[in-house]
A and B are shown apart, each in its own frame.
Chain A
Amino acid sequence: MNTVSHALIGFAASSIIFGPEIARDNVMPIILASTAMDVDHIFYFIKHIKPVIKQAKTGHTTPNLQGIFHRVHSQLIFMLLMMVLSFFIDTTLVRIICFNVFLHMGMDALIDCYYHAFKPFSPNLLSIRIFGDKKMRIIADIISVPVLTFILWVI
């Protein structure tokens, strides 16, 4: 799923859970938490620019696209970090960050073709592919941005 959609879904879900005022006050943490996990794609994009352009046209993604932040051990470290942080900073902020990060992971797991979630421990490819492999995935990716923007505008 594209990064803009992640940010919009994160903001919409946070407004429902924590209330629109808290979501509006914490808009930067929400956007950062729901998009920062995609930083690990950049390394792959830099190394493999030609296959990336081809994949964008066909809709296929490679499991190597998802880097270290999309793996179980990073999520474990993040959860422990959030647990420690909850003693020192505002718990609402911790909840907002934690929820948006894991919502990002959940959406990626639902939609992306294949991923190596357990990679250093197991080479198995995991896949749910709720929208299938190619066309529906691209359509959902393109439609999601205007639809989510409209929903947020209505809210």
Chain B
Amino acid sequence: MQKSAHMLAIAVDLKKHKERAIRAGAIPRMLSAATIIFGIIFAVTTKSYFAASIQALIMLNIADFAGFILLKNKNQTKLYADRLTEAIMFSVMPFPWYGLVAINFMLTIMKVEAFKKVPIIPLKLVFLIYIIFTLI
């Protein structure tokens, strides 16, 4: 009886701990979700609805900027979401972007693995600048 009560106490404590952990990561989760969703919107609208894709790209850059300020580029969930978003966005683009996405994947692995200060190419910002120059 005593043993089962003790086990129950451990289980309740673990549940509380898990809930706390979920609440603690709300901002990175929201930013990561927004990044992936806007990335999919960008990829889907880029050929048919150019204005919508530009808006999605701007929103992506805003989410990146918010992540830079709030998370200081240390959150692994956001890092992974960024790489996936870039891969989704640029998979419908021609060759050079594929290479840049692959380089960013490598840099991310290096950043996570050992060298914390490895810079990652801000591909979404680069693409926004490229689009602006193309339009001008």
Contacts and interface: CB of A to CB of B under 8 A. Distances in A.
Interface in B33-81: 33, 36-37, 39-40, 43-44, 46-48, 76-77, 80-81
Contact of A86 (B33, B44, B95): B95
Contacts of B36: 106, 109-110, 128
19 contacts: A13-B43, A13-B44, A16-B44, A18-B47, A73-B109, A79-B87, A79-B101, A82-B91, A99-B92, A103-B43, A106-B39, A106-B85, A118-B112, A121-B113, A126-B77, A127-B22, A127-B25, A127-B77, A133-B22
B102 A72 contact: no
A83 interface: yes
A106 B88 contact: yes
A109 B80 contact: yes
A17 B33 CA distance: 21
A17 B77 contact: no
A76 interface: yes
A103 B88 contact: yes
Interface residues of A, number: 36
Q: Give the dominant DSSP class at B's interface.
A: helix
Contact of A76 (B39, B92, B105): B105
Nearest to A75: B105
A129 B43 contact: no
Contacts of A18: 47
Nearest to B98: A83
A4 interface: no
B40 A13 contact: yes
A124 B75 CA distance: 10
Given A109-B32, A128-B77, 18 more contacts: A13-B40, A18-B47, A72-B108, A72-B112, A79-B98, A87-B95, A95-B91, A98-B91, A102-B88, A102-B91, A103-B43, A106-B40, A106-B84, A106-B85, A109-B84, A121-B113, A122-B113, A126-B76
